[in-house]
Amino acid sequence: MFADYTSSELTAIFAMQGFAGLILFSVFVLMALGLAIIFGQMGVINMAHGEFMILGAYITYLTSQLFSNYLPGLFDGYFFVAMLLAFIVTAALGALVEWAMIRHLYKRPLDTLLATWGLSLILQQLYRTVFGAREVGVSLPDWLMGSYAITDIIEVPINGIFVMALTIMITIGVYLLMQKSRLGKQTRAVVQNRAMAGAVGINTEKVDRYTFALGCGIAGIAGSAFTMVGSTGPTAGQLYIVDTFLVVVFGGASSLLGTVASAFTISQAQSTMEFFLSGSMAKVLTLLTVVGILMLRPQGLFSLKVRR
């Protein structure tokens, strides 16, 4: 298989495959961060998480069209506006969903699965009605086009570098929010002992709503980043929801560090195997490996000690 390649060509191939894995890792982390907050911190199985991501992608698409048609002079900076709008709109929708539906199902986790699955179908049909069944793509600013030459034969896309930098900044921001802010401390208190948190004056219902909205808002930002590496369609979110749950469960449902480590492990393994095997076979082998590890360590790579 490798006889026709020189050593420098093989190095370039593996380096570029590894970079492709890092881009996939970035998408996994951005999606899994929001899901880790919702599923890990709240115990809610949100099957509509992918649709919140796609909502952020569609908002990015609409923003690009708005700037392209009416504000062409500011087009180079539209993506930052799109990310902000994606976060606000998806977080607001998340807060509405939590108030109207999720808050009534906290003691019935399996019912949240069915309810959010139904919500995902409703959102998919809504996207299909508004935007059509065809996939759409955004126009990237000139500064995100092209590639950066590391060596004479190794080039990496600039938009991939931007997605990875965005992922690092958001991950650090989420960590600081959950560890240092008032909301983060209250969220961790509710996770460890909801009854005691309520007894000391924490409004647990308010914390739940803000936490769910935050997770959905991060999914919206993930949707903005997704537009750089894939096309946006009504059902595109379903392509990543299984992988995202896999990342969260494998890393440890309540661990931010576990989510990052799990996303890196799964994305690199999948990307590397895709070079030797078909994409579907690589996904199957990755899934089987993760399932085998979870059978030996059900709590995932990292686990949070919770008072019962």
pLDDT tens-digit series, residues 27-40: 888 888 888 888 77
The predicted pLDDT at position 231 comes to 80
Q: What residues contact 303, with CB distance under 8 A and at least 6 apart?
A: 252, 254, 255, 258
Asked if the model's pLDDT at residue 193 lies above 50, the reply is yes
**Which of 269 and 48 is assigned the larger pLDDT?**
48
Structure tokens at 272: 């590397």
- What Cα–Cα distance (Å) separates residue 247 from each residue in 98, 162, 226, 257, 302? 23, 22, 17, 11, 12
Structure tokens at 197: 């948190």
pLDDT tens-digit series, residues 51-110: 999 999 999 999 999 999 998 888 888 999 999 999 999 999 999 999 999 988 877 878
Instruction: Judge residue 31's burial from the number of C-beta atoms within 10 Å of its C-beta, 0-12 exposed, 13-18 middle, 19 or more buried.
Output: buried
Q: What residues contact 266, with CB distance under 8 A and at least 6 apart?
A: 28, 243, 246, 247, 250, 286, 290
Asked if the model's pLDDT at residue 195 lies above 90, the reply is no
pTM: 0.86
> Quick check: 301 and 261 in contact, CB under 8 A?
yes
